[in-house]
Amino acid sequence: MQATLIRTAFAAALLCSGAAQAGTIDTHAFTLDSAGDGPAADIALIGDDANRATFSLDGLMRHMHSSVDSAGVPSASTDSPAQAGYGIGVKSGYRITGLTISGTFSGSLAPADGGAAGNDIGLSFVAWPPGQVPLWSNYAHAVDLDGDHAFSVTLGTQALRGEFLLGVLGSATASADSALFHDDATDTDSWLGSAAQVRVGNLVLTVDVAPVPEPQAWLMLLGGMGALGAWRRRVSAARNASQQ
């Protein structure tokens, strides 16, 4: 239920931010406009070829991280939600056949003896053509991560044309609980701190594209399939006649 509420709130925010556009990135098959109103929407084109375009999600990598140390206090925690929205316009003669975001979750845990440390990080995205049902990716998630975890989220095979909004939603949380230490020599208590951190890196958006065949091409293809079918029928008839 909570995930549904988060997605609904994010989708509403994405629609409201759609009119605020920054610089445009022009690829051979589509344009991408930053529709976010914050630095988390910073994005850079990595490559653009016949089948796909790739982008580095620089803003999300800078903002989607949390680090905490509970030294001197009983506990501490921090949460870093991050979202970015982009307007995509597919050019005439093309369609977008797939959208994928890949990257690496990295975390570290350093609990004090008798204390605790934890982290939680997750990311998903949505493609929303105007007037249609939003398309959500799968959800990448890691908890209590002490090391690196590669991930990929995708919509699967699609055939997106025209204009739509692309929104990315992520959150990184770190928490630490201290251990109470009593010093017999001074008869004083103190908190021995724990530490935790988590972040996302190598965050890449891949947009797969394909040309839309012209009507003449479809007619030629259908004609070719018809000719192939007629040839197969003739071969089959000749084979049957020879066997009689």
- pLDDT score at 21: 43
Give the span between the Cα atoms of 47 and 55, in whole angstroms.
7
- pLDDT score at 9: 47
- pLDDT score at 218: 44
Give the span between the Cα atoms of 213 and 220, in whole angstroms.
10
Is the separation of the CB atoms in 60 and 84 below 8 Å?
Answer: yes
Longest dimension (CA), the chain: 110
Question: Which ranges in 46-203 belong to alpha helices (H)?
Answer: 58-63
CA-to-CA separations, 233 to 25, 92, 130, 220, 228, in angstroms, rounded: 52, 39, 47, 20, 9
Instruction: From 162, 81, 152, 92, select the one nearest 128 (Cα to Cα).
Output: 162
Q: How close are the terminal C-alpha atoms of the chain, in Å?
A: 70
Domain range list for the chain: 2-212, 214-244
Instruction: From 100, 103, 124, select the one nearest 52 (Cα to Cα).
Output: 100
Structure tokens at 129: 């053509």
Give the span between the Cα atoms of 140 and 123, in whole angstroms.
5
| Region of 19 on the Ramachandran plot (φ > 0 left; ψ -120 to 50 alpha; else beta) | alpha
- pLDDT score at 184: 87
Q: Mean pLDDT, 10 residues at a time, over the chain (244 residues)? A: 44 46 84 74 94 96 96 96 94 97 98 97 96 96 98 95 95 97 89 97 98 63 56 59 60
- pLDDT score at 1: 39
Instruction: From 208, 220, 204, select the one nearest 95 (Cα to Cα).
Output: 208
Structure tokens at 23: 């610089």
- 103: Cβ–Cβ under 8 A, 6 or more apart, which residues? 57, 61, 123, 150, 151, 200, 201, 202, 203, 204
Give the span between the Cα atoms of 114 and 182, in whole angstroms.
13
Cα angle 114, 119, 121 (rounded to 5 degrees) comes to 170
Strands (DSSP E) contained in 111-228 are 116-128, 135-136, 140-143, 147-154, 163-177, 179-183, 188-192, 195-211
- pLDDT score at 12: 52
